Amino acid sequence: MAKVQVLNVAVLDNPSPFGNPFQFEITFECMEDLPEDLEWKIIYVGSAESEEYDQVLDSVLVGPVPAGRHMFVFQADAPNTGLIPESDAVGVTVVLITCTYRGQEFIRIGYYVNNEYTDPELRENPPVKPDYTQLQRNILASNPRVTRFHINWEATMDKMEDSENVDPAPNTMLPPTSMPGKAPPLGLMPDNSMDCL
């Protein structure tokens, strides 16, 4: 069982012009005092085609985290437009919020993002070169997609036995690969596959 449960993410300043910073108000609960910080990241998927265009908009450490319920606002600058393929600028993409503890990702919250021109004229005849100043970003806040991963919450590896009951049934949607050198070699199974729809 994860020590940290995300209770809610409220998308602030949404919809907003493309250039506005992302703002997420994150509420989470922690079962016990965490000796180390949580690391949160906002990743903007520049193109559905390739992870190459992913941009980590920002990463932030959150701590200290004593047991209890906490909230904070994670603000990150808008993506660097220079890194977004022009063909992918307008339309639907994804923004991801991930959280890692001791270098292991245990939750991934994804939102669809729709980037559209507000001007009907532009919408009908979009310029070849995207005009980011005219684009509006709309995060589909009502439908977060949450994936939870099992990680080792302890510093020591004495919890190895916990993983022995992990059902190794492969989930086609989830081929999580362990991050070389960072994640411990155990329990990278999704916590709750029902959450992944």
The reply to whether 36 sits near another protein by the rule CB under 8 A is no
Residues 94-133 that bind another protein (CB under 8 A): 94, 96, 98, 100, 103, 105, 108-110, 112, 114, 116, 118, 120, 123
**Which of 18, 55, 101, 102 touches another protein (CB under 8 A)?**
55
- Taking CB under 8 A as the criterion, the residue among 56, 127, 155, 185 binding another protein is 56
Nearest to 61, CA basis, from 82, 36, 81: 36
Size of the site for another protein (CB under 8 A): 112
Closest CA to 75 of 131, 148, 146, 16: 16
CB of 187 vs another protein, minimal distance in Å: 7
Residues 158-177 binding another protein (CB under 8 A) are 159, 162-163, 165-167, 173-177
User: Which spans in the chain are helix H?
Assistant: 120-124
Which positions from 68 to 97 touch another protein by CB under 8 A, shown as an x/- string? Answer: xxxxxxxx-x-xx-xx----x-xxxxx-x-
Question: E-assigned strands of the chain?
Answer: 4-12, 16-17, 22-30, 38-45, 54-62, 68-76, 91-101, 104-117, 135-139, 145-148
Which of 18, 39, 89, 135 contacts another protein by CB under 8 A?
A: 39
111 in Cβ contact with 141 (< 8 Å): yes
